[in-house]
Structures are given as structure tokens and as C-alpha cells.
Structure 1
Amino acid sequence: MGNADIRQLAVIEPKPFEELAGSVVAIDAHNWLYRYLTTTVKFTRSEAYTTADGEEVANLIGVVQGLPKFFEHDITPVFVFDGGVTELKDDEVQERREQRETYEEQLAEAREREDSEAAEIAALESRTQRLTDTIQETTRELLALLDVPVVEAPAEGEAQAAHMARYGDADYVGSEDYDALLLGAPYTLRGLTSKGDPECMEFEATLEEHELTWEGLVDAAILMGTDFNEGISGIGPKTAVKLIREHGDLDGALAARGESIAHADRIRAMFLDPNVTDDYDYDTDIDPDIEAAKRFVTDMWEVPAEEVERGFERIEESVVQTGLDRWT
């Protein structure tokens, strides 16, 4: 998820969609998918995304509703999926699992109570969502039918997306997490799953703003706390930057405070030298098979046609229009 306090350090500017036309965006797939998944569950009746066998595929509705935004603005999304989770992130994963189990217990109790309101149940349902094997597999299959590029990361999808952008294989990273900045993503688009235009988080401008190197920015973040470690009590963004600038690096800052952080060198490496691959290839000329995608969603996975009809119409209309625009 990343530390939201990093926002106080990041240089972030509005980015109108019209300025993004023709660009390639490496999407942190799990981040993007989870947001549409929880939104779909919150605002859609459960019968619409539950098969006769009890499989939940709200992701299919979310994908069909979320993709048109890219196509309508002539943006090519490349979805980058997570591989394995680093062991240093195990504590965070366990914490999320325990929180979800708590929500599941609350949901079961709410369903049994006669005074439970639909809004309460919907909110709890959205909080209990997880990316099951079925959700991950069907998302990949639907993206393939729609000819949307997919890259499989060896570890963190966000790190792989940042790597692709750093080496010019994508113009932007698409993620709601602020860790993309620490991973060196030159430009990160936030708000792609929200209404209105996104905002752009700029890496080099952030370094210049605080007179830090990439290493210094990461060290400041470690002092504040990351997905891989708890920060030092009492150290926020301004203090973290001040300490790094005064003492040169994380080690110097910790020594000055009489503090220590376990696995500090490994945490640095997670951001500065993450596990990524150059073994990927994709075509940005998208030619979706709309009819096959419709059959996959409505026939194979039993999603009512009316739940995805408008989304598919928008995809078809935008792809056709984009093709015409490119030829004129």
C-alpha cells in the first residue's frame, strides 16, 4: 500500500486526460483491479457477479467498466501482475488477512441481524474482497480477449511497472500507491480509477524539491515507515528529509538518533534494486474481440448482459474512433 505520508514530499500536478493521448501506461494490475473489485461489490447486487456454483467474479464487471476510460482517451494500458510477495512484506500481508477476517465475521453477523441495512452489508462485502485464483485467472483471460497487453512480474507488479517506465517501455506508471515514487517511476498517474482527470507524481521534480538523491528519498521514507518496516516514532516527512540532509544517509540519521531499523539494507534494495525482469514484449496496437469477450463474461461466467452492456459498447465505440483518428 505504501506510506501515505510520502504524498507530503511528492511533487504532484494535475494531468488532464487530453495530455495523455497516445501514451502507454504500465498499470499496477492488482492495485487497479482491487479498487474496481471493491467498488463493484459495494454498488452491485451480489447475484450479478455470483455464478450458480457460488464463484464470485465481480472483477469481470469491474474490468469492463474500468477499461473504457483508457480507450476513450487513446491510452494503451499494460497490466502488470504481481509475482511472489517478498518475505519482508509478510507482516503487512498477515495484518491485512487478519483485518479481512474481522470484516468477514462482522459481515456474517450483519446478515443474521434483522435490523441490518443494505448499505452496511454492501460496505462490509467490499472490505472482505480478495484477489482469488478465479479472479486473477478470469481477469487475465478477459484482458487477452480484449487484446490488452499483460506483463507478469517476478515479484511486485508496481516495481516491474516502474522499471518499464524508467527504461522507456511505458510513458507512465498507473498506481494509487506512493511507493511508485520510491521505486523511481519517472511519472506516476494517480486517480485512474476515480472520476475526473488523474494527477501526476513526478520523480525528478520531487528529488529537486528536497535536494535529495534517489537513495536519500528512500532513506527518508524508511525513517517514516514503509510496507517493509515501521518508521521511527516521531519522524514525519519534514523531519525525515532534514535528518537525511544533515547526516547524509539512513545510517548517519539513525546513529544521530540512537535508533536502529532491522534489515535496513534489504529494505533499501527493495526500492533501489527490486526483483524485476526485462523478459517481456507486447504490442500496443489493440484489436479486441468484443463478441468473444461478451460470451466469456455473460455465457461462461453468467454475468447478466445488462451489467456489462454499456461498458462493452464504450470499448467498441472508443476503439473504432481511435482507429479513425489515427488514420485522419
Structure 2
Amino acid sequence: MGNADLRDLAAIRDVTFADIDGSVVAVDAHNWLYRYLTTTVKWTADEVYTTDDGMEVANLIGIVQGLPKFFEHDLIPVLVFDGDVTDLKADEVADRRAKREAAEERRAAAAERGDAVEAARLEARTQRLTETIHETTRDLLRLLDVPTVEAPAEGEAQCAHMAATGAVDHAGSEDYDTLLFGAPTTLRQLTSKGNPELMDLVATLDELGLDRQGLIDAAMLCGTDFNEGIHGIGPKTAVTAVREHGDLWGVLADRDADIPNAEAIRDLFMDPPAIDVDIDTSVNPDVEAARAYVVDEWGVAADEVERGFERIAESQVQTGLDRWT
């Protein structure tokens, strides 16, 4: 739902880390990694994470800086990677590619005129998860003993399925589509400072007076990653219209409007491709091997990752002590 629109409807409350202590969280890896990747690129000189042959691995810094937040609060992250992109998302993917290309043109112009700040900002917006980033991310997570799952399609849908089936305690994403895909609870702000937020599906439906299908219908009227919305319909109007007319079809008929592939999109949200998984939560990071991989093998500046590795090591000691008390 133009994800920001769903923010106006979702039941979200602040929680403390003490509230979710010991939880297993299925994290949308693309969403999580991209946020740390772009932050690293924006604020770190590129020579710090670029190999001698020009390969950029800013993701390694992002991972080492991002994982301690989980470990220090006794959370087990399960990183869920996207699988095949559904045909219904082709327009969204093309739009993102076009925006990256436009940002790259503006970045080059900013660099040419000597505007380093603007160039860095735009460089962050041009980032994509390359084959090397995918490979090195999985290698580092394996060394740190972080469980991973390869989704058959949308990572967010797989996270939602894992939360709904009890394989994990919560989904974890900064976006809102986990709600539409049926995650009972989603933790947000896992890449931000401070405490997380918890988005609750049942509370959302109760507050709106809709079932999950009705919520999806309202989302589609506003627009999702898979479809354009109907002109003039915002989130609150969409909810009112679905209540009044019964479902998406009733609203479209009333407005003489159409959403291409509407039935397929509805079905995708209600029953997305996903797999059942068993998660081994006995995480035991090999910090020394991970440090050697990042610094020695990939040439990342040691001082950029040392504190992150220290925090990971310290968190494991503290977690062990906590479990004995």
C-alpha cells in the first residue's frame, strides 16, 4: 500500500527490548541489508570498503554494525532472502531501476562540480544488491552462525509465513507488506536507534472493522508494490469504501474503475509462495573467523568493524551469563 499509507491504518505500538527478550525474528534481509548498505555508502569513504580490484563490499560493514542490536538484546535474527521476483512486480522493479539510473546521473554531475556531500547522498540511492554482495553477505552470516532462509519468492511473504506458522516469534521489516501477507506481529525500527515498534495484525483488523481480505482490498485501492491505486482514494477512504461496498469489486464497480490483475494480486497477498522451515536457534558466532573474512580476505578497514565485532563477542558472553542466572 504505498507503504506509507498503511502506516495510517496499522495498529502499531512502541515496545521495549525487555518485552521481546528471547524472541526469534524472521528479518526481511533485502530490506534490512539495504538500509545498512546505503547508510554505510553515504557516510563512509568508498576506499574503506573497496577492494584493490574495485569490488565494493559496503554490506560487510553494515552487517557487522547492524547485528549487535539483535545479539545485545537476546534476539535471534533469521535473515530471509528474496527468491524469484513475481511477474506482478515487474513494473515496480522497472521503476526502481529507473530511479537508480536517474540518481546515478545526478551523482555524476554532483561529483563533477565538486559537491561531495550531494554526491555521497546520491551514491547511497544508487545502491543495489550485487552478486558479490549477496555472496559475501551469506558467507559472513554463516561465519556468525546467523540462520538464513531462501524464500521461493517475496522475502516479506516468507517472513510473514514463518511468523504465522510459529517458526519464529515475529516478522521483522521496515516496510508494511508483512501485515498484508498475514504476519501476526511485525517488529519495525530494527535498523534505527532506540526501541522497536510492534505492528499487530489482529489489533489492526479489530480497529478497522475489516477481515484480512478487506484490509488487502483497501490496500489495493491505495496502491501496493503490485498495482497502482485508484485516483482520489487514500487509506481512510479506502477502508470506508470497502466497508460500504463489501469488497474490492464492489468499490471498483461503484467508481467505474479497474485494477489490472486484481484477482491475482489479491491471491498473492492471501496465499503467497512460502515454505515451512525449522530454525536452529543455537547461535554461536565465530567472531575471529568473521573478522578475518571481512578484514583480511576482503580488505575492509579494521577500525570500521572492530567495535561491531567486539559488541558481538561481548553480547555472547553476557547472554551466556544471563541464561545461568
Matched, 1:129 2:130: no
Map of 1:263 onto structure 2: 261
Shift of 1:122: 1.1
Alignment of 1:1-328 (within 5 A): 2-113=2-113, 116-278=114-276, 280-328=277-325
**Larger CA deviation: 154-163 vs 269-278:** 269-278
2:141 counterpart letter in structure 1: L
Shift of 1:281: 2.9
User: Normalized against structure 1, the TM-score is what?
Assistant: 0.97
Distance 1:260 1:2 in 2: 18
Distance 1:275 1:60 in 2: 29
Distance 2:96 2:312 in 1: 34
| 3-state SS of 2:190 partner | coil
| 3-state SS of 1:18 partner | coil
Distance 1:103 1:233 in 2: 27
Deviations 1:139-159 (A, max 9, x none): 000000000000000000000
Distance 2:64 2:256 in 1: 53
Shift of 1:117: 2.8
Structure 2 unmatched ranges of 5 or more: none
Distance 1:172 1:118 in 2: 40
Contact 1:154 1:275 (8 Å CA) reproduced: yes
Deviations 1:55-97 (A, max 9, x none): 0000000000000000000000000000011111111111110
Distance 2:212 2:70 in 1: 30
2:188 counterpart letter in structure 1: R
**Corresponding pairs, count:** 325
Deviations 1:106-154 (A, max 9, x none): 12222222xx232112101101100001001100000000000000000
Shift of 1:2: 4.7
Distance 2:208 2:110 in 1: 48
Shift of 1:185: 0.7
Distance 1:281 1:214 in 2: 26
Distance 2:172 2:137 in 1: 17
Distance 1:309 1:200 in 2: 31
Cα RMSD after superposing both structures: 1.0
Contact 2:188 2:199 (8 Å CA) reproduced: yes
Contact 1:2 1:177 (8 Å CA) reproduced: no
Distance 2:89 2:237 in 1: 25
1:71 counterpart letter in structure 2: F
Deviations 1:221-256 (A, max 9, x none): 111111111111001111111111111111111111
1:256 counterpart letter in structure 2: D
Shift of 1:17: 1.2
Contact 1:2 1:178 (8 Å CA) reproduced: no
Contact 1:6 1:237 (8 Å CA) reproduced: yes
Distance 1:153 1:195 in 2: 28
- Inter-CA distance 9–189: structure 2 relative to 1 (3 Å threshold): same
User: Normalized against structure 2, the TM-score is what?
Assistant: 0.98
Contact 2:2 2:222 (8 Å CA) reproduced: no
Contact 2:110 2:116 (8 Å CA) reproduced: no
| 3-state SS of 2:70 partner | helix
1:61 counterpart letter in structure 2: I
2:157 counterpart letter in structure 1: A
Distance 1:309 1:104 in 2: 31
Shift of 1:285: 1.1
Structure 1 unmatched ranges of 5 or more: none
